[in-house]
Amino acid sequence: MEITDVQKFLADNHRGVLVTRKRDGWPQITLVTPVIDAQGRVIITSRGTTYKLKNIRRDPRVSMLVMGEEFSGSKYVQLHGTAEIISQPEAMDLLIYWQRQVKGEHPNWDEHRETMKKEQRVVIRINIEKVGPNKRG
């Protein structure tokens, strides 16, 4: 499997599990909704006060499993990469891009922007460095 295969899979599949590393080295696992940006990087959103952000600031290495519609028997991909956090106000255009990819047009963009500001929404952008699986089993 190649990075381009994972990027194509993420174009239509938005159910993911993100793994970051806690201070003590144990994994912290979070359900996420990933999309691919125009440069082929994974983007997800988060409120600005979550543990995953604290973990990424300390250690930007992350892993993610993304699966298809069905849990059992569904195709899936895994990826590993380096994450960066994009905060407000720079994050706003990517937050809107994410919204459109996952949920479509919002009925009131001004209201939605204000909500994202109040929640201190950020974008986590992941540069994919390694992918799998290389075989089923």
Going along the chain from its start, the domains and CATH numbers come out as 3-130 (2.30.110.10)
* Mean pLDDT, the chain, whole residue set: 93
Q: Does the predicted model carry a pTM greater than 0.85?
A: yes
More confident residue, 71 or 33: 33
What average pLDDT score do residues 42-65 get?
Answer: 97
CB 123 within 8 A of CB 95: yes
Give dist(CA 68, CA 42) in Å, integer. Answer: 16
Dihedral pair phi/psi, residue 88, rounded to 5°: -70, 145
Position 137 pLDDT exceeds 50? no
Helical H runs in 1-126?
A: 3-12, 51-58, 92-102, 109-118
